Chain A
Amino acid sequence: MAGQAAAILHSADLLPGWGEELWNTSFILADDSLLGRSLHALVGYSARPSGIQLAAWLATLVALVLASRAMSKPRMRTLTAAAAVIALMAAGAPARADDLPTLVFHNHRFEPDHVQVPANVKFQLHVKNTDGTADEFESVDLNREKLVAPGQTITVFLGPLAPGQYKFFGDFHQDTAQGVLVAK
């Protein structure tokens, strides 16, 4: 919980990041795998913790250990176990994909037309249509097509994507509405 709180505060630029990705254990246990999702739900597992998350994890652990010394042995054992659980939860914040810019249909073009997204994690892309006519966010590479009515903002659920480029376009204005998603 401490790690998640730190990640949220970092997302709001209220805390420094101290490293966006200290390690990546996706190749051992990916966040989106069945076991990864289960562990995330149970103990907050994350394959790509940030520096501020680790700091929150350590600070919580130290605080718990110090507090436990003032208690009796049976209680100490209980608190140590609790600290271990909380430490695991501290590493459990989702990858920071919520900083992605909103894609905007404007004058039948995408703004921005290049978007960098994190590779190997799931994320949400928001697409807003400021034009007076409907358009469709579509991508063969991403296997998505979704209508965006005038004034509407939709959410497209994507990933995990392997590093690379993924083209998308506005199906109703293909001559102008083109863009690329870059997964890194």
Chain B
Amino acid sequence: MTRYLFGLIVALAILAPLAAARADFHVVSPYEIDLGELEIENNSSVSVDHRFGIGGEQSYTLELGTGLTPWWHSEIELGFDNDPSLGQPTMLMQVVSENMFQLTEPGEDFLDTGFYIEYGQSTTRGVYATSDEVTFGPVFGKDIGRTTEMLNLFFTRQLGPDQTTQGLDFTYAFQGRWNLWAPMSPAIEVYGDTGTLGSMPGFSHQQLLTGPVGVGRLNLNDIGLGRAGQIKYEVGWLFGATPATPRGTLRWRLELEIPF
């Protein structure tokens, strides 16, 4: 079993550099704390568009996470990017500390609520330099029948000498999922970036993506890899809904959860 798990971890590491699009294509859940479990995750995307400077960007992450308390989930992430329009090779861009605090007990109140905050420390210098960033905002969730709706409303502030904007950037993300079948449930996702608050560009210049996503999980016990733990995965195709957004973005996420 250890051999299989080691193989899965290696597969995650190998898959990561193949990934494409922005690493931010993931809706943060107020439900997953993963206390008592180690989480190894790859979150990747690649954008497709023939227009120069819009398509072709790739990003991927390698993340380690766990629940630190019954209400605090924390992850350390290595974020890689590749942008052909800048001639940028695949390189480590950021080391990120991600934290989700569960503010309400799931199901107890009308709305399940959490608070998310991450700090990204830039690892680049020179021509590819990017700024440090802090991102924060509320995370909402609601079960309606056999569906689960999640909404993220995040604000990002650049920090440090390499910042390109001084204000707060606003992004939003939504996932509506029909919990149909554990190995594969259909979902629809929406990701938007309005730009800097106070100097927002027109809607056609904002980023907006939406499309179908498959969300699933397999118990390791069911596939003969152990008595505990899970593999979770998401894969989807997001259509660009504004001229400023790449026509298509393939995104996927692969996560291995192991109790300890």
* Chain A interface (Cβ < 8 Å from any Cβ of B): 32, 34, 37, 122, 134, 136, 140-141, 143-147, 155-159, 162, 169, 171-175
Knowing A147-B67, A171-B228 are in contact, say whether A140-B217 is a contact too (CB < 8 A): yes
- Are B106's CB and A144's CB within 8 A? yes
- Are A34's CB and B110's CB within 8 A? yes
C-alpha spacing A158/B105, complex, angstroms: 11
- Are A147's CB and B35's CB within 8 A? yes
- Interface size band for B: 20 to 34
Can you list 14 pairs linking A and B with CB atoms under 8 Å apart?
A: A136-B259, A140-B179, A143-B106, A143-B148, A143-B179, A147-B67, A147-B70, A157-B105, A157-B108, A159-B107, A171-B219, A171-B228, A172-B228, A175-B227
C-alpha spacing A155/B108, complex, angstroms: 10
CB distance from A94 to the nearest CB of B (A): 14
Q: Cβ of B228: which chain A residues have Cβ within 8 Å of it?
A: 171-174
Knowing A147-B35, A157-B107 are in contact, say whether A174-B227 is a contact too (CB < 8 A): yes
C-alpha spacing A150/B35, complex, angstroms: 14
C-alpha spacing A159/B67, complex, angstroms: 25
- Are B179's CB and A171's CB within 8 A? no
| Given A34-B110, A143-B106, A174-B222, 8 new contacts (CB under 8 A) | A37-B110, A156-B107, A157-B105, A157-B108, A158-B107, A174-B219, A174-B220, A175-B221
CB distance from B182 to the nearest CB of A (A): 4
* Interface of B (DSSP majority class): loop
List the 9 closest A-B pairs by CB distance, nearest first. A157-B107, A174-B221, A140-B182, A147-B35, A157-B108, A172-B228, A172-B259, A147-B36, A174-B219
Residue of A nearest to B216 (CB): A140
Query: Is B49 in contact with chain A by the CB < 8 A criterion?
Result: no
Q: Cβ of B25: which chain A residues have Cβ within 8 Å of it?
A: none
- Are A173's CB and B227's CB within 8 A? yes
* Chain B interface (Cβ < 8 Å from any Cβ of A): 31-33, 35-37, 67, 70, 105-108, 110, 143, 145-146, 148, 179, 182, 185, 217, 219-222, 227-230, 259
CB distance from A182 to the nearest CB of B (A): 15
C-alpha spacing A122/B144, complex, angstroms: 12
Residue of B nearest to A171 (CB): B228
C-alpha spacing A140/B182, complex, angstroms: 6
Residue of A nearest to B143 (CB): A143
C-alpha spacing A162/B32, complex, angstroms: 24
